[in-house]
Amino acid sequence: MNLEELTKMYDFSDRTVVITGGAGILGGEMACALVGCCANVAILDRAPELADRLIDRFEGGPGRAIVVYADVLKPDTLRNAEQVIQTEFNSSVNMLINAAGGNSPKATTSEELPFFDLPEQALRFVFDLNLMGTFLSSQVFARGMAELGEGVIVNMSSMNAIRPLTRIPAYSAAKAAVTNFTQWLAVYMAMEHSPHIRVNAIAPGFFLTEQNRFLLTNPDTGELTERGRTILEHTPMNRFGDPEDLLGTLLWLLSPASAFVTGVVVPVDGGFSAFSGV
């Protein structure tokens, strides 16, 4: 191995990558990095106009990005998106990043809303978005990988899959299920289809984005809530993550540099999961 060979591993020319929830904060950063590494990137989102904020960053290439409507809970829209991608890039999908996900304030306990009263609909929404969204997208795009005999899937788990966080029981359980499904699918794809299809996940620590801002900061003052402060006290690096902090791990998991890695969940958390609090 030398520097040239190493660098080549991170050249994604002629690779087609789908990112569900790719108009979001973390998925959007991933999309920009992959365009920078020469990939064909398809951003799938139910609110594709959100990706407009990224357009300037795509224009410099060297890869290409397209934005395609898809709802990860509607398999027809995922299959339609697959057709659009095939036509636009003249290529099958080689890599899938399942980044659509999130929590809901209605599925979050508080003094006014105890566990017993969490609405069923809100709980189902969170389970569906995180678990079924990952399942259904994997069913649609992994089929093509099975036909090609190669591919990579990266799921988004979370710290709360390791140990649940207070107040967000549905999101914690759903992400624990994403971790479990990552392991299941890794074994299934390698043993039933091809050892060149790998499935892994990233477990991000705490990144301030739209899905958790209401829990971590005060909407009026922008200052940290008590929960936000507690998280920082339990993060040895004493800061929230920046979306770019995920890129090294993501590119490694997508690249041949991790050719013998499947079924793992990599924490990117500033040390949160390693710290006992003492």
Determine if 212 is a binding residue for ligand NAP (CB under 6 A): yes
By three-state DSSP, how is residue 194 classified? Answer: coil
Residue 233 within binding range of ligand NAP, rule CB under 6 A: no
211 lines the binding site for ligand NAP (CB under 6 A): yes
Interface with ligand NAP (CB under 6 A), residue from 71, 125, 165, 197: 71
Asked if 73 touches ligand NAP (CB under 6 A), the answer is: yes
Query: How many positions of this chain bind ligand NAP (CB under 6 A)?
Result: 29
State the Cα–Cα distance between residues 19 and 93, nearest whole angstrom: 11
171 included as an active-site residue: yes
SS3 content of the chain, % helix, strand, coil (to 5): 50, 15, 35
In a 13 Å sphere around the CA of 134, the CA atoms on its Cβ side amount to 28
Q: Write the Ramachandran bin of 95: left for phi over 0, alpha for psi from -120 to 50, otherwise beta.
A: beta
Residue 84 as a binder of ligand NAP (CB under 6 A): the answer is: no
Report how far residue 39's alpha carbon sits from residue 41's, in angstroms, rounded to the nearest whole number: 6
- Report if residue 270 touches ligand NAP, rule: CB under 6 A: no
**Minimal distance, residue 175 CB to ligand NAP, in Å:** 7
Handedness of CA 262, 101, 22, 45 (dihedral sign): positive
Task: Choose the binding region for ligand NAP from 10-18, 97-105, 138-146, 220-228 (rule: CB under 6 A).
Answer: 97-105
Residues found near ligand NAP in the complex (CB under 6 A):
20-21, 23-27, 45-47, 50, 71-73, 99-102, 129, 133, 156, 158, 204, 206-207, 209-212
Residues that are catalytic: 171
